[in-house]
């Protein structure tokens, strides 16, 4: 039987940027068994998960961390008004998809088929069921009606995300649900690294030319 060959000798560095420390720690525990992250194998790719909690006061520091990463995942749970403001600030410091593979991971408790969002008119916190997307809902607080969105579509609209940006729901306690999106992100990072490596060629030494005089 042929032995599998690892994709890279050194682990790919994936920066996991969570809006909430507890949520991020729960995701890391489900993926690699360590609340602070660490090295794990995802679909045959060795990955170092580097967990950070987003804090607007640390934007410069976190930007430096992201500049050294091979990929980045932004992790969130709720979408009420305060969380959305924090989310927008965190998204602003992420490199564009052209510079780095990026994914948004929306964490839910196992079995939960609804999500929290802010009323578009009064910002009242509301629970919206997945099955009700596309229907017209009414805010109990301000009585205004609006079309109920899918969570992924709402995130893309609020952040003006490109269609190619993955927005994936992960279920706490469901190992495949947690590991799968990060494995896909690692694969994108691996392919990007291959492209960058193949596009760089060694310089040729011209033995019949002398260097210019200083």
10-55 pLDDT tens trace: 899 999 999 999 999 999 998 988 898 999 999 999 999 999 999 9
**Phi then psi dihedrals of residue 152, to 5 deg:** -65, -40
Residues in the chain: 214
- How far, in whole angstroms, is CA 179 from its chain's centroid? 12
**Cβ pair 100, 193 in contact under 8 A:** no
**Cβ pair 186, 47 in contact under 8 A:** yes
- Can you give the pLDDT at residue 74? 95
DSSP annotation of 11 reads: P
- How far, in whole angstroms, is CA 102 from its chain's centroid? 5
Measured torsion, CA atoms of residues 186, 189, 193, 196, in degrees rounded to the nearest 10: 170
Question: Domains in the chain, start-ordered, CATH in brackets?
Answer: 12-111+150-198 (3.40.50.300)
- The per-residue pLDDT of the chain, averaged, comes to 86
- Whole-Å CA distances, 205 to 209, 212, 213: 9, 14, 17
Q: Is the model's pLDDT at 195 over the cut of 90?
A: no
DSSP annotation of 70 reads: S
| Rg of the chain, C-alpha, whole Å | 21
pLDDT in tens, 91-144: 999 887 668 899 999 998 877 888 888 899 998 989 999 999 999 999 999 999
């Amino acid at each position: 039987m042929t032995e599998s060959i690892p994709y890279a000798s050194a682990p790919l560095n994936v920066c996991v940027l969570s809006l909430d420390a507890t949520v991020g720690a729960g995701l890391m525990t489900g993926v690699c068994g360590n609340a602070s992250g660490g090295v794990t194998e995802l679909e045959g790719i060795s990955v170092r998960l580097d967990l950070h909690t987003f804090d607007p006061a640390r934007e410069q520091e976190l930007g430096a961390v992201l500049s050294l990463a091979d990929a980045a995942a932004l992790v969130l749970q709720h979408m009420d008004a305060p969380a959305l403001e924090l989310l927008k600030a965190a998204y602003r410091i992420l490199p564009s998809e052209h510079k780095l593979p990026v994914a948004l991971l929306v964490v839910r408790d196992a079995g939960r088929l609804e999500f929290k969002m802010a009323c578009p008119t009064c910002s009242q916190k509301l629970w919206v069921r997945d099955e009700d997307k596309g229907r017209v809902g009414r805010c109990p607080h301000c009585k205004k009606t609006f079309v109920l969105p899918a969570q992924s579509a709402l995130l893309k609209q609020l952040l003006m995300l490109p269609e190619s940006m993955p927005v994936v729901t992960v279920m706490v306690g469901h190992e495949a649900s947690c590991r799968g999106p990060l494995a896909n992100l690692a694969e994108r990072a691996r392919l990007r690294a291959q492209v960058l490596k193949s596009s760089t060629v060694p310089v040729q030494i011209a033995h019949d030319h002398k260097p210019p005089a200083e």
